[in-house]
Amino acid sequence: MLEHKDTNSPTMKEDKARGGSRQLLRRLRDIMATGEGAQERLDRLVKIIAQEMHADVCSLYVRRAGDVLELFATEGLKSESVHQTRLRIGEGIVGDIAAYARPFALADAQSHPHFAYRPETGEESFHSLMGVPILRGGRVMGVLVVQNREESEYSDETVELMETVGMVVAEVIAAGGVVRRREQAPVDGLALKPLRIDGVQLSSGLAMGRAVLHRPLVPIGKMVAEDEAHEQRRLDYALAAMHTKLDHMVKTVDDAGGGDHVDILKTYRMIAEDRGWIQRIRDAIGTGLTAEGAVVRVQNETRARMAKVQDNYLRERLLDLEDLAFRLLQHLQESNANGNGQSGPTQADLPKDMIVIARSMGPAELLDYDRERLRGVVLEEGSSTAHVAIVARALDIPIVGRVSRILSRIEPHDRIIVDGNNAVCFVRPGEEFRRVFATSMELHEQRLAAYARDRDLPSVTCDGANITLNMNAGLLIDMPHLHETGACGVGLYRTEVPFMVRSEYPDVKVQADLYARVYEQAEGKPVVFRTLDIGGDKVLPYFQDQAEENPAMGWRAIRVALDRPAMLRQQLRAMIHAANGQPLAIMFPMISDVQELLNAKKALNKELDRAKDRGLSLPSDLSVGIMFEVPSLAFQMDAMLPHVDFISIGSNDLLQFFFASDRGNPRLDKRYEALSPAFLSLIRLIADKCREKGVSLSVCGEIAGDPLHAMALIGVGIRQLSMSPRSIGPVRSMVRTLDAKALEAFLAVNLDSPAHSLRSLLIAFAKDHKIFL
């Protein structure tokens, strides 16, 4: 008796889809193997796609110079519309597919608000439409569309098949003869003229050199497989080779002295074995693609997901997967060529002074480049907590991130200047500008040398006011700067950063070992440990993502800690263990209510009692403080000050809450600033209250590290500043040329000014009094 098979079961549907995919890909492979001209091949491609997908229409639009999509081939629309019908990127449904590099599947396309009717095509009789972007190397090369007369739903399997077909068509377009090579080049239609492009600072420093486009497109060769089992074996070999290479890289860095970037590389290595990612590649091979084609297919899916993800941590994971996909492609290609499975950039052809240009980079890829020749990096994406940025800071490599469309604006070996200090890069600068910048680099190096020579000089104003200069840190790789800069101590150790680069929550022992190493490297200088300041834009990988309309004012920092008391207690326990009888200073972030502080101190006292009961060494001196970031505390000072030993003003958050101004909103950028009379008056109010009660006060936000802002802070009563290591030298030089009493008197008569900012007045004061800014 024959067993009845359910042809509608998920397994049967999947098998049927795979069979159809393989058949279509085989027919397309045969077309690609012919010696026909490009137009003839495109005409045959659309005809076969329409047949195999049971579509009344299949149309192919190719991207031309000026961001125009031109109809290059069609089966089903009027033939006279070929090379006549054009749409702008973003115009109509087809233009929308190209603009956002995402597929569309519509049962009734004509009712869609983006539908753009072109009468010359005769498409008014077709209702349903499904289109996909034709992608190659992350660049949209065109759009592939099928249409049907009847309204019909397109399944996810059909959309995925079309995306795979689009990859094959991309290779036909790239092979040449479809459009001029210059139109395929990643240039946005502008003449190759000098450009100045702003970004964000990921790693400070100055660099000048020749552009090297990171991750040049790996030549795929064959997209359609002849033997699925053979492709699966090739994937196994390439994965093994990639894992071996990464293991060697981790060991090399670890043997060289380690640091937090070892944890980053280890996490990256773990992601390389992600079973879901590898299985998706295997499934793509099962549809009829080669191993390379399967990797590219999954890479395209990752990019599509990335476009929808706002969470910083999830974007980091997706960037790591895309990075690994490229490395895997290299292993697949090079194992084909020589069987050795080695990967990495070919150094021989790279310029002596390299500026690497990339959309994104993984931490391991930075280490692939010759450190003796790598001068700087420019990224289209990136954040200060990105793994590549952390590793770059450890290696003292300047990086400017979020540089809009840099890959589409630059050619290989173009001259480029990276100003990591001011977050700007210059593309194809003229000879005179290069000469001036080279002089600036020399002066910058001389200044750095002077700051290093002066690191042991006291930070005292001309009239004898002692200004304590501390540094901010967040990783062990920051700690050597404590002694290199002559900082008095660590005014802010951001404990959340090591948590963010790990794939799982560190237990008490791991945390205690980390804090103990901080103590060890501080060599007796004071360190202020801030408890976890997570939430908002700082998400831990092992936390469930909490969607919030306004995360900056949502569930973050002390609010998370008090709602997760076990997490807070473990961190406090680890700090007590690490102190081991040494002084301990703990700071709680984003306190907005006195009771929050009291609850946090209650948790700390319980841990102290626990340590005492177990016979552990208690801190020789315990200081408890808060981050002053919420304006409401200004009205609770009398109630709060008896319960704290010190306060540190977090100017970044305080400024945005004070003016109700989102600091991440470009429309509000520089609209409100710390040199306004109102904000400086608030700082003076806090300083007066703390001085009256004998409570230590410092500022640890970004403004503390800018000489002009630091000068203004001293003028309203601040005597302790904590900043990034690179800022200590410039601020020390300013302090040693400043008369604090004269500045205080000057500001006292100007804080009532109705002016938007006191910036120009303060610059004039510095110039008149020969203050070194």
Cβ contact 577:616 at 8 Å: yes
Q: At what angle do helices 707-715 and 740-748 cross, to 10 degrees?
A: 80
Give me the amino acid identity at 599: N
Tell me the backbone φ, ψ of residue 335, rounded to 5 degrees.
-70, -30
CA angle (34, 37, 40) in 5-degree steps: 90
| β-pair partners for 68 | 64, 88
With residue 563 as reference, give the H or E element that holds it. Answer: helix 558-563
Q: Are strands 424-427 and 57-64 parallel, antiparallel or unpaired?
A: unpaired
| β-pair partners for 468 | 720
Query: How many whole angstroms separate alpha carbon 295 and alpha carbon 231?
Result: 11
Q: How many residues does the chain have?
A: 773
Query: How many whole angstroms separate alpha carbon 316 and alpha carbon 294?
Result: 22
With residue 341 as reference, give the H or E element that holds it. Answer: none
Cβ contact 658:631 at 8 Å: yes
Cβ contact 496:534 at 8 Å: yes
CA angle (529, 532, 536) in 5-degree steps: 135
Query: How many whole angstroms separate alpha carbon 383 and alpha carbon 387?
Result: 9
Angstrom CA distances, 157 to 54, 72, 211, 536, 697, stand at 14, 26, 41, 37, 62
Q: How many Å is the maximal CA-CA distance in the chain?
A: 104
**Ramachandran category for residue 553: left, alpha or beta (phi over 0 → left; psi -120 to 50 → alpha):** alpha
Cβ contact 611:573 at 8 Å: yes
**Ramachandran category for residue 176: left, alpha or beta (phi over 0 → left; psi -120 to 50 → alpha):** left
Query: How many whole angstroms separate alpha carbon 748 and alpha carbon 712?
Result: 11
For 172-234, list the strands marked E by DSSP. Answer: 195-198, 200-203, 206-213
What is the SS3 assignment for 379? strand
| β-pair partners for 691 | none
Cβ contact 477:259 at 8 Å: yes
Closest by CA position to 722, among listed 430, 478, 464: 478
With residue 740 as reference, give the H or E element that holds it. Answer: helix 740-748
Signed CA dihedral, 532, 535, 540, 546: sign only:
positive
Cβ contact 287:165 at 8 Å: no
739 class by beta-carbon count within 10 Å (0-12 exposed, 13-18 middle, 19+ buried): middle
- DSSP class of residue 460 equals B
CA count, 13 A, side-chain hemisphere, 5: 7
Pair of tokens at residue 70: 């031109």
- DSSP class of residue 64 equals E
Pair of tokens at residue 389: 């940025």
What is the SS3 assignment for 271? helix
Tell me the backbone φ, ψ of residue 301, rounded to 5 degrees.
-65, -40
Query: How many whole angstroms separate alpha carbon 353 and alpha carbon 437?
Result: 15
What is the SS3 assignment for 513? helix
For 495-621, list the strands marked E by DSSP. Answer: 527-530, 584-588
| Residues forming the active site | 387, 700
CA angle (319, 324, 251) in 5-degree steps: 110
